[in-house]
Structure 1
Amino acid sequence: MVLDFLYGAGVGLALGMTGGGGVLAVPALMLGLGYTLPQAKPVALIAVGSAAFIGCLDGLRRGLVRYKAALLMALLGALFAPVGLWLAKILSVTTLMIIFCTVLLFISARMFAQAVFPHISEGNQEQNLLTAKCLVNPSTGRFQWTNRCFVSLSTIGGVSGLFSGMLGLGGGFIIVPGVRQFSNLNMHGTVATALAVIAFISAGTVSAFLIAGGVIEPTAWRFIGAALAGMLLGRTLAPKVSGSLLQIGFSLLVCVAAVMLLVKTLMPFLH
């Protein structure tokens, strides 16, 4: 029982502080609590989606959420989530786990490089701003909508939904770097908008799961409740913690989780 609360709070804390901490939900459930991937996916999505909704409300209160962009990405995410669910049914659990671990390792490497080599990241960001497809109007703080902006955000939302359905990921690890890559929206606005999208996509994916006859174990609600509490704490602590230090720690944690899951997945084939 205690582990349910500890792992759930940890996931919520990471999500609240980084916007992409939801990638740890499935590893926490599988490695820490003994869930299988099919069991972990809906629980992770409910926990991450609920926690993201709390963070989204906080972002709305502060005027940080770009709600039109969030709704567009969420709509495309909801449309592609069933495709991810379908892929999850036709692919073996081993294949899904290898894909999942590969995604985690990519996220870890990218975040670590950005934190350790900030000058390179800043240079890339300056270059990105010259070719940004979604520019924020400095006088209103809102996106200047163009066809390129519409297509870019739609693509980000669709890919997020696909991974949400297939692997049980909220999609923040795609939304945050994606929006940062294609726009000049600041980090606080990006995280707040990502949390709104995650909440909508997770809700759509879980609804599809339940409509298809899926069941959530009663004990899973302890993990979900703790994730909500962790989110509230994370949103409070985020402004007080060094961004680079937090990013390095988070990237290393994701890397360890990915390696442990990969070893666990491949172990039966090594005997």
Structure 2
Amino acid sequence: MLSLTGGLLGLIIGAVLGLTGAGGGIFAVPALVFGLGMDIRSAAPVALLAVGAAAALGAVQGLRRGIVRYKAAMVLAAAGTVTAPLGVQLAHWLSPRWLNLVFVAIMLVIAYRMFLSSRSTQADGDLRDEQAKACKVSKDTGRFLWNLRTATTLGSIGVVSGLATGMLGVGGGFIIVPALAHFSELRMHSIVATSLMVIALLSAVTVFIAWSHGLLLTAPTWAFVLTALVGMAGGRAVALRIPSKMLQRVFSITCVSVAALMLMRNVG
């Protein structure tokens, strides 16, 4: 029964990750906590393995379509690799209750940022952000125009996402997607595909660290990991047919709902 539950949860998480490039990671840990009864510290590396494997599949699909900004992904992942081990160490220092509270706080902040992003009109965005965007994109190629500001901004995003990846097992996409939407001129579908590549790279490093600390997978957790791949394939297949703003709003509302459940569990 638990294997069936794990499989169903993995399918859902993979689909959400494929659609948003961010939601799968942020929802994977709560899914394991509520669905399989794991504590947040044990759930984090399992969630990261599932999210990382699914993200790798999505990244390959994005590369084939030419929408992954792979140079940016390498910069983000390299910066994140530096701080991911520190995040793993912090997860061992903090109690599960405090980890839970940090998780809830981050979910609420990201939900708020995503909702604000979904409300801005294209005209508003063009007028307000044309000069403010740190990471400019070539109108001809759709690729980044590289300079010191671009590299520094992407590196900073990578540092924060790596820390979150190691500490909370969330892949970092929930930081990368809104950050790239705010600081770059990339279109949302390219942001999602690039985020998936970074998640795959960061997850591989962090899962290796967790494995060296004795990570063990049970039948339900294996089911969770494997069906996440199926969900990812389905999510990426329909992602381009759904408006970005709708995805952002659904993601925000779901984030708030899951955060409330996590908070009630913490208080209880």
Tell me if both proteins adopt one fold, taking TM over 0.5 as the criterion: yes
- Deviations along 1:180-238, one digit per CA (max 9) or x if unpaired, are 21111111111111000000001110011112233233431100111110000000111
Equivalent in the alignment of 1:69 = 72
Equivalent in the alignment of 1:111 = 114
Q: C-alpha displacement at 1:122, in angstroms?
A: 5.5
Counterparts in 2 of 1:111 and 1:132: CA distance versus 1, 3 Å: closer
Partner Cα separation in structure 2 for residue 123 and residue 160 of structure 1: 28
Partner Cα separation in structure 2 for residue 12 and residue 244 of structure 1: 20
Equivalent in the alignment of 1:143 = 144
Partner Cα separation in structure 2 for residue 148 and residue 186 of structure 1: 19
Matches within 5 A, 1:50-89: 50-89=53-92
Partner Cα separation in structure 2 for residue 50 and residue 265 of structure 1: 29
Identity among equivalent positions (%) equals: 43
Partner Cα separation in structure 1 for residue 197 and residue 129 of structure 2: 24
Equivalent in the alignment of 1:34 = 37
Say whether the 8 Å CA contact 2:113–2:178 is kept in structure 1: no
Say whether the 8 Å CA contact 1:125–1:181 is kept in structure 2: no
- Deviations along 1:125-144, one digit per CA (max 9) or x if unpaired, are 64223122211122232211
Equivalent in the alignment of 1:16 = 18
Counterparts in 2 of 1:118 and 1:210: CA distance versus 1, 3 Å: same
Partner Cα separation in structure 1 for residue 168 and residue 266 of structure 2: 15
Partner Cα separation in structure 1 for residue 93 and residue 264 of structure 2: 23
Q: C-alpha displacement at 1:108, in angstroms?
A: 2.0
Partner Cα separation in structure 2 for residue 127 and residue 85 of structure 1: 38
Letter in 2 for 1:135: K
Equivalent in the alignment of 1:189 = 190
The equivalent position to 2:47 in structure 1, one of 25, 40, 44, is: 44
Structure 1: segments with no counterpart, 5+ residues? none
Equivalent in the alignment of 2:222 = 221
The equivalent position to 1:5 in structure 2, one of 4, 7, 14, is: 7
Say whether the 8 Å CA contact 1:82–1:205 is kept in structure 2: yes
Structure 2: segments with no counterpart, 5+ residues? none
Letter in 1 for 2:193: A
- Deviations along 1:40-86, one digit per CA (max 9) or x if unpaired, are 11110011101100000010000111111101100111111001011
| Structure 1 residue matching 2:53: 3-state secondary structure | helix
Partner Cα separation in structure 2 for residue 163 and residue 102 of structure 1: 12
| Structure 1 residue matching 2:240: 3-state secondary structure | helix
Superposition RMSD on alpha carbons, in Å?
1.5
Partner Cα separation in structure 1 for residue 44 and residue 84 of structure 2: 13
Q: C-alpha displacement at 1:87, in angstroms?
A: 1.0
Partner Cα separation in structure 1 for residue 130 and residue 9 of structure 2: 38
TM normalised by structure 1 equals 0.93
Match status 1:152 vs 2:141: no
Match status 1:246 vs 2:244: no
Partner Cα separation in structure 1 for residue 99 and residue 238 of structure 2: 34
Say whether the 8 Å CA contact 1:52–1:195 is kept in structure 2: yes
Partner Cα separation in structure 2 for residue 256 and residue 88 of structure 1: 24
- Deviations along 1:153-195, one digit per CA (max 9) or x if unpaired, are 0010110000011111111111111112111111111111100
TM normalised by structure 2 equals 0.94
Counterparts in 2 of 1:126 and 1:92: CA distance versus 1, 3 Å: farther
Equivalent in the alignment of 1:129 = 130
Partner Cα separation in structure 2 for residue 7 and residue 51 of structure 1: 13
Letter in 2 for 1:227: A
Partner Cα separation in structure 2 for residue 165 and residue 194 of structure 1: 16
Matches within 5 A, 1:229-240: 229-240=230-241
Partner Cα separation in structure 2 for residue 197 and residue 179 of structure 1: 12
